[in-house]
Amino acid sequence: MNYSLKLALSMAFVKLTKHHTKYTWWSNRGQSWANNVGWRIDYQILTPNLKGAVKSASIYKDERFSDHAPLIMDYHYEKNYSHIVTFLT
């Protein structure tokens, strides 16, 4: 993934959630989890037609079972099948 695309996806999460200190990965060294010193390195990649369908984004930190935390994205998307109907008629 090129740098500009990675930056755009990262900023989309920040723009949607308004959180600049939410991370999805913490080193196992030191107290990075406890001090919230992490990186936002997990992404969901969207096609252009899904860009407006994202309704919420969060990072699940209630339990720690890995050095990564799940990135949760909720979407509202209705598939338009009109092109198929037109093709079949």
Question: What sign does the dihedral 56-61-65-67 (CA atoms) show?
Answer: positive
With a cut of 70, which residues of the chain have pLDDT below it?
A: 1-15, 19-20, 47-49, 80-89
Give the range of the structural domain holding residue 49, as residue numbers without chain letter.
Answer: 3-88
Residue 87, phi then psi, degrees to nearest 5: -65, -35
Query: Which of 69, 47, 45 has its CA nearest to residue 58?
Result: 69
Q: What is the pLDDT of residue 22?
A: 84
Total number of domains constituting the chain: 1
Q: What is the pLDDT of residue 74?
A: 84
- Tokens coding 59: 């990072």
Q: What is the pLDDT of residue 2?
A: 58
Q: What is the pLDDT of residue 40?
A: 84
Instruction: Give pTM, 2 decimals.
Output: 0.65
Q: What is the pLDDT of residue 69?
A: 93
- Tokens coding 30: 């030191």
